[in-house]
């Protein structure tokens, strides 16, 4: 079963995961500076993405530029993958492709230390992507365990481009931040991504 087929119920039953909802887990995270180039790109292309209003347009014109900025800020600390196959355990259904994956490694030719999984919401519906995101987070956790990477927490995000919802997986518990974070405060979205990397360092 590919990642995209997982529901929240299947995550709980198949993997024995406790799912908790908390308000404002990352709400106090500070904004970070971002380049004038990102500002210009978003000003130019967000209206186009919203007019086309497809998952692909939001991915290319909103999500990808934000993640390019994030990678640029962290230079050689991370690698960024888009549309990469990430099959970890096909028997458990942990197979398929990731919309975006951030690895705590400069190695760009292969995935080494997956820490952040980002899923594009289907039909502009954040909730529809939660099961898929959780399945990919569990795959990243298992991948790191098998490769003896000491990563305590895996982070996830489901986004429409304009709205961003964040999750975290520690041991057998996934916490969902009930807050949504918005493109209008992209500095905080970037700040949360920075926070995720800082927890690994």
Q: Report the CATH number that the domain containing residue 96 is assigned in CATH.
A: 3.90.1570
Q: Which domain holds residue 110?
A: 3-32+78-200
> At residue 1, does pLDDT exceed 80?
no
Answer yes or no: is 124 within a domain: yes
Q: Kindly give the residue spans of alpha helices, DSSP state H, lying in 62-168.
A: 64-74, 130-146
Spatial neighbors of 74 by CB under 8 A, at least 6 apart, are 194, 197
**What pLDDT shows up at residue 123?**
82
Residues in the chain: 201
Residue 43 lies in a domain: no
Structural domain contains residue 72: no
* pLDDT for the residue 115: 98
Interatomic CA distance for residues 158 and 173, integer angstroms: 18
- CA-based angle 77:88:114, to the nearest 5? 15
Assigned domain for 149 exists: yes
59 lies in some domain: no
Domain presence at residue 141: yes
For the chain, what is the domain count? 1
Q: Is residue 48 part of a domain?
A: no
* Cα 86 to the center of its chain, rounded Å: 14
Domain assignment present for 51: no
Q: Could you tell me the pTM of the whole model?
A: 0.96
User: Does the structure show a pLDDT above 90 at 135?
Assistant: yes
Question: What pLDDT does 43 receive?
Answer: 97
């Amino acid at each position: 079963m590919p990642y995209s087929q997982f529901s929240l119920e299947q995550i709980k039953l198949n993997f024995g995961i406790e799912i908790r909802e908390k308000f404002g887990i990352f709400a106090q995270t500070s904004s970070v500076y971002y380049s004038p180039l990102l500002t210009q790109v978003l000003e130019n292309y967000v209206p186009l993405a919203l007019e086309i209003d497809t998952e692909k347009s939001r991915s290319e014109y909103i999500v990808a530029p934000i993640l390019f900025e994030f990678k640029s800020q962290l230079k050689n600390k991370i690698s960024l993958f888009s549309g990469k196959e990430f099959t970890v355990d096909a028997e458990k259904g942990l197979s398929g492709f990731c919309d975006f994956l951030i690895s705590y490694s400069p190695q760009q030719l292969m995935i080494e230390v997956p820490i952040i999984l980002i899923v594009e919401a289907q039909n502009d519906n954040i909730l529809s992507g939660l099961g898929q995101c959780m399945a990919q987070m569990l795959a990243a956790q298992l991948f790191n365990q098998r490769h003896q990477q000491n990563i305590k927490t895996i982070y996830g995000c489901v986004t429409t481009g304009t709205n961003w919802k964040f999750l975290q997986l520690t041991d057998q518990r996934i916490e969902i931040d009930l807050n949504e974070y918005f493109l209008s405060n992209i500095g905080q979205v970037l700040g949360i991504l920075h926070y995720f990397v800082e927890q690994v360092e």
